[in-house]
Structure 1
Amino acid sequence: MHSILFAIAVLIAFGLRWAIRCWPGGLSWSIALGFFALPPLLLITTSMAIAWMGCGWMFGFPASMGSHFLAWLFLLWTAVCVANLTWQTWQTLAAVKVHPLADWQGQKIRLLDTPFPYSAQVGLWSPELVVSQGLLKLLSPEQVNAVLAHENAHRFYRDTWTFFWLGCLRRLTFWLPETESLWQELLWQRECRADRHGAKNCDPLLLAEALALVSQNSIVANPIPLAVPFSGQQDRLLARIDHLLGFSITPDSHRLASWVGSFLLLVIAILPLILIPLHIK
């Protein structure tokens, strides 16, 4: 019986991912997040329920040892994915922390001594703001402030923490269809959201100019293992600039919608756990 439950979870996961190909119109943040995160979360909670129940009887059918082993194997793979990404994040943060702290108009930054134009929040819940010498030399002070407004928006939304866990789900279910396309969509939504929030504290034109300049000058090899979103994807960058310049600043209800969507996603994902009381040992 447990094997049937796991097979149903796998079929639902594939069905949800295939359904994205028929989705009308563009994807909002909450829709993209649902299609990306719900399939692996269902697989995880189904495996947790099966592992907890163990062998026995359910709905009058025997639960085999094979399904119990498969559930533990999937949970072990989940733990490996989390541990691996945790190790890589720790290595990146350690590489950043060897660089000196500096002050930029009242903000503490980690200053990278490299011509590569770069800025990012690096870490998890309380990330470090990292800025390279190349960025400070390339941009005017006003443009640098616009870039930092964008980076502070990532901290406001806790994007480093959120995308750490989404990155774990990505590695866990790389074999599901549309995983990479949905991951790129979420990266796109994340950057546009940070642009919108940052535009409240700076001139959007300054931020758009900074994005264009950084893209044109990002030809030096990256000296430490830092990810650069949309590097080599000129069409994505141009679309992002168009989105930024065409965006009119309005009261931000996006964060509330994200919280509501995340809560509903969590409720659906934990549904397999309600099967535990139905199991008889």
Structure 2
Amino acid sequence: MHSILFLMAVLIAFGLRWAIRYWPGKLDWPAALIFFALPPMLLISTSAAIAWMGCGWMFGLPVSMGSHLLAWIFLVWTGLSVLYLAGQTWQTLGAVQKYPISHWQGQKIRLLETDFPYSAQVGLWSPELVVSRGLLRLLTPEQIEAVLAHESAHLFYRDTWTFFWLGALRRLTFWLPETESLWQELLWQRECRADRHGANHCDPLVLAEALALVAQNAMVANPLPLGVPFAGQQDRLLARIDQLLSSPVAPSSHRFIAWGGSLLLLAIAVLPLILIPLHIK
């Protein structure tokens, strides 16, 4: 019986991903997040339910040891994926913390001594703001302020924390269809959201100018041991500029909207756990 439950979870996961092909129009952030995160979360919760129930009887049918073992294998794989990404994050944060702390207009930053134009939030829940010397030399003070407003948006939305877990789901279910395309879409939506939020605190045109300059000067090889979204894809940066200038500045999103959506997604994902009381040892 548990084998049937696991097979159903796998079929639902594939079905949700294949449904993207019939989605009308362009995916927005909530839709992309649901299509990306819900399938692996259903697989995890189903595996957790099966592992918890163990062997026995369910709906009058015997439960095989094979399905119990398969569930534990998937859960161990999940744990290893999280540990691997946690190790990578720890190494990156350790590399960043070797650079000195500086201050720019009252903000604490880690200053990288490189000509490569770079800025990012590095860490998990409480990330550190990292800025390269090359970015400070390239941009005017007003443009730097606009870039830091963009980076503050990542902190506001806790993007480093969110994308750590999304990255674990990506690594866990690389074999599901559309995983990489949805991942790139979420990265795109994340940066556009930060652009819109940052534009609430600066001139959108100044932010667009800063993005254009960074796109032009990021053609050189990246010497940093850090991930750069859309590195080598200047067309994506230019597309962000077009979207920023063509769309009206959106009001700041309230945190309770993001939390509400996350809780709804979680409620759907943990539905397999309600089957636990139906199991008979």
In the superposition, the TM-score normalised over structure 1's length comes to 0.97
Contact 2:200–2:251 (CA under 8 A) maintained in structure 1:
no
Structure 1 residues 160 and 266: alpha-carbon distance in aligned structure 2, compared to 1, 3 A threshold? same
Question: How much does 1:143 deviate?
Answer: 0.6
Cα deviation 1:203-259 (Å, max 9, x = unaligned): 111111111111111134333321111122233222211111122224334654432
Q: What is residue 212 of structure 1 aligned with on the other side?
A: 212
Structure 1 residues 256 and 249: alpha-carbon distance in aligned structure 2, compared to 1, 3 A threshold? farther
Counterpart code for 2:31? I
Q: 1:32 and 2:32 equivalent?
A: yes
Q: 1:232 and 2:259 equivalent?
A: no
Question: How much does 1:38 deviate?
Answer: 0.2
| SS of 1:135 mapped into structure 2 | helix
Contact 2:2–2:64 (CA under 8 A) maintained in structure 1:
yes
Q: What is residue 74 of structure 1 aligned with on the other side?
A: 74
Contact 1:29–1:258 (CA under 8 A) maintained in structure 2:
no
Contact 2:111–2:130 (CA under 8 A) maintained in structure 1:
yes
Question: How much does 1:106 deviate?
Answer: 0.4
Quote the Cα distance in structure 1 between the aligned partners of 2:250 and 2:50: 47
Q: What is residue 61 of structure 1 aligned with on the other side?
A: 61
What does residue range 158-169 of structure 1 map to in structure 2 within 5 Å? 158-169=158-169
Contact 2:197–2:251 (CA under 8 A) maintained in structure 1:
no
Quote the Cα distance in structure 2 between the aligned partners of 1:208 and 1:143: 9
Question: What is the count of residue pairs matched by the alignment?
Answer: 281
| SS of 1:120 mapped into structure 2 | strand
Quote the Cα distance in structure 2 between the aligned partners of 1:146 and 1:177: 37
Quote the Cα distance in structure 2 between the aligned partners of 1:150 and 1:174: 30
Counterpart code for 2:158? R
Quote the Cα distance in structure 2 between the aligned partners of 1:21 and 1:261: 23
| SS of 2:201 mapped into structure 1 | coil
Counterpart code for 1:280? I
Q: 1:20 and 2:20 equivalent?
A: yes
Quote the Cα distance in structure 2 between the aligned partners of 1:249 and 1:216: 25
Q: 1:6 and 2:3 equivalent?
A: no
Contact 1:47–1:75 (CA under 8 A) maintained in structure 2:
yes
Counterpart code for 2:169? L
Q: What is residue 98 of structure 1 aligned with on the other side?
A: 98
Q: What is residue 155 of structure 2 aligned with on the other side?
A: 155
Q: What is residue 252 of structure 1 aligned with on the other side?
A: 252
Question: How much does 1:192 deviate?
Answer: 0.6
| SS of 1:130 mapped into structure 2 | strand
Contact 1:56–1:279 (CA under 8 A) maintained in structure 2:
yes
Q: What is residue 276 of structure 1 aligned with on the other side?
A: 276
Contact 1:97–1:110 (CA under 8 A) maintained in structure 2:
yes
Q: What is residue 49 of structure 2 aligned with on the other side?
A: 49
Cα deviation 1:74-98 (Å, max 9, x = unaligned): 0000001000000000000000000
Structure 1 residues 174 and 280: alpha-carbon distance in aligned structure 2, compared to 1, 3 A threshold? same
Counterpart code for 2:201? N
Q: What is residue 87 of structure 2 aligned with on the other side?
A: 87
Unpaired segments ≥5 residues, structure 2 = none
Cα deviation 1:16-51 (Å, max 9, x = unaligned): 000001100111111100000000000000000000
Counterpart code for 2:132? S
Contact 2:197–2:250 (CA under 8 A) maintained in structure 1:
no
Quote the Cα distance in structure 2 between the aligned partners of 1:105 and 1:203: 17
Counterpart code for 2:248? S
Q: What is residue 131 of structure 2 aligned with on the other side?
A: 131
| SS of 1:125 mapped into structure 2 | coil
In the superposition, the TM-score normalised over structure 2's length comes to 0.97
Counterpart code for 1:68? H
Quote the Cα distance in structure 1 between the aligned partners of 2:29 and 2:272: 25
Counterpart code for 2:92? T
